[in-house]
Chain A
């Protein structure tokens, strides 16, 4: 797998070089997407909750829902969408070379990525953070008790670096065992090959849920990193950035205003208050600066749902959800003690 890394590094370097030439493009992404009449949205290899394939070959997941929302906002139809599954190594190159219009895949917003890759981060649609999972029988109650433990971790992500930082900070002498595939990592853990697994907590919850006996494992309370995840666009295209950003905010704001996919028609016909009317295009002209149609936000909510509906379906207790509690987590609305907060639609 060294080769993969080499090739990826090479490709990423070339991608950065190319930013200079592609940044100042003649056509804006919005024009390109409208002309093509299909949105190219980049996700990664299937990952529970965020982007998944079902047995019929259809994509689903919370990041896929963001792609669908953007397609609905820009093109009026959430199905005018081409999902591109790109490996982690090639993700930023595929943005730089114009292959993808937007990247919506568990990519952590960091200063370096925001400033040095020719990319702009837009809004946060999921707050994640790294944690540890241990067998209940081990009696470990806190990550600080992991002294000298072997910890299974996926390679090539910030997860590995966060673990090293945490290890150094608390002088835990943790031994990391790295894996390429989360199934192999989990099997190793289950067979006693390591004392704990570390991953983003959403990933841990999802791993735990697939074990034969989920009750025998606990996720430790510590969160050792901040992983704000959200869609990413190419730099220097502020109109496209606005569109992506406000599409995510439309999902969040709709939930705050109590608009969902079922009542949105009624809400548009008889807006209970001016905020709802403005957002759904019944009054005012919020769409003007975005360069979208008057009913863009209506299309998003009608076709995709609001943030809460999307969360319930893929992250929460829905049939395809991975069962992460939202109440009390950063992903709850700000009105309920969480961090999900949309600037006002006016």
Chain B
């Protein structure tokens, strides 16, 4: 855990000017065996790179109708034409062609909603993050599934629309003037001098009015149903792992606190839950959830497989997260608890203000490592017949016009996973540096 502090220290040291030739001499050619190792390493890199270049670029076929055509043009190279033909399939799975804009639109809204979190001048980031987690799923859920909206969903979608627009306006105000949406609203209506309570009530009324307007507006809005059966590709992978990731952390924190609780019932319940789900492989949980669970249900009652999978993934991820959180809590010295108590803080305030902020900081590498693992684990859903990105890639190799095309799609799939996981990793390193406030 101390290692987490190191980048922070080096960042504060003045950068030395590096002489490339001296650097090479010191690091790669310092002794005779280092010279040999360097040469060997370079040779291996050359072999791999040259092979990849020959296969992937020099001999590759970029335009073809079928794999046979690719083979006729050049049997030794990659057949990227097939990957182009199937690429949308890898991303959207079996989502209907005419409805794919909905996925794009949903992603754009999510990105726009989250951008303010990275803008330094915007205030109230916790509120923004909470609004994304609480309301975006309803908006996205309806956008992706479509069909009739229940009253509850209508209300939630309206709230989501209002919070989205609110966050965007708030961010624009924040970036341009450093203010907040609430204060600007109050100033514009000329009541910024009124009492706190009045101000708050006015804001609530304004929010309710906005929701009411949004409710009227969204009543007209309807998109056709797209059954979960047609969800697939990278989209499905991201839906499952996205929901898993967002629930894992809060649920993990709750479970970890429960396991360390003084109350025996809560402690035993949490411990049992964690141990049971953590001791069973994910694939077994998925199998149980989708093939065994329906056996216990009444006849003709079929569950949505996707929901079962998501619930299974969430439970599984939460248990792992709980143990990571518990590890982080363990690392906080007892003095911190005692100091918090001495200041008269209760349990929740002690956890919220003193313990958790310190513990979570320690846990970032572990948490992100776990989340990356979760993202990759979701490819196991192929085994129960969901067409996530891996299953689409395998389907491409069986599609008659492109039969046998499997190296190229796999390569692309690996690349996509690498990009996602590597950016997660990079972001976590950035977070570590940013949150690093101690100078041990």
Contact = CB atoms under 8 A, between A and B. Distances in A.
A100 to B, nearest CB: 10
Q: How large is the interface on B (under 10, 10 to 19, 20 to 34, 35 or more residues)?
A: 35 or more
A53 interface: yes
A57 B94 contact: yes
Interface stretch (A14-22, A120-128, A150-158, A288-296): A14-22
A320 B401 contact: yes
At the interface, is chain A mostly helix, strand, loop or mixed? Answer: mixed
Nearest to B285: A7
Interface in A68-111: 82-87, 89-90, 93-94, 96-99
Contacts of A322: 400, 403
At the interface, is chain B mostly helix, strand, loop or mixed? Answer: helix
Interface stretch (A41-49, A170-178, A238-246, A251-259): A41-49
Contacts of B283: 3-4, 7
A303 interface: no
Given A11-B292, A57-B89, A98-B300, A52 B384 contact: no
A209 interface: yes
B227 A52 contact: no
B287 A11 contact: yes
Contact of B294 (A8, A97, A319): A97
16 contacts: A14-B291, A15-B291, A15-B295, A27-B300, A52-B395, A52-B400, A53-B392, A55-B85, A55-B88, A55-B89, A56-B89, A87-B384, A183-B404, A186-B404, A319-B401, A321-B400
A25 interface: yes
B302 interface: yes
B299 A84 contact: no
Contacts of A186: 404
A89 B287 CA distance: 10
Contacts of A327: none
Interface in A215-257: none
B385 A46 contact: no
A47 B383 contact: no
Given A15-B295, A90-B291, 4 more contacts: A46-B399, A56-B97, A213-B75, A321-B400
Q: Which of A55, A58, A84 has the most CB of B within 10 A?
A: A55
Given A57-B93, A99-B294, A209-B403, A46 B383 contact: no
Interface of B: 67, 71, 75, 85-86, 88-89, 92-97, 227, 229-230, 232, 281, 283-284, 287, 290-292, 294-295, 299-300, 302, 383-385, 387, 391-392, 394-401, 403-404, 406
A266 interface: no
Given A7-B283, A183-B397, A209-B403, A57 B291 contact: no
A85 B392 CA distance: 12
Contacts of A86: 384-385
A217 to B, nearest CB: 13
Contacts of B295: 14-15, 18, 96-97
A26 B394 contact: no
- In the A-B complex, the 8 residue pairs with the smallest Cβ-Cβ separation, listed nearest first, are A57-B94, A210-B404, A46-B398, A212-B75, A210-B403, A183-B406, A7-B287, A97-B294
A2 to B, nearest CB: 11
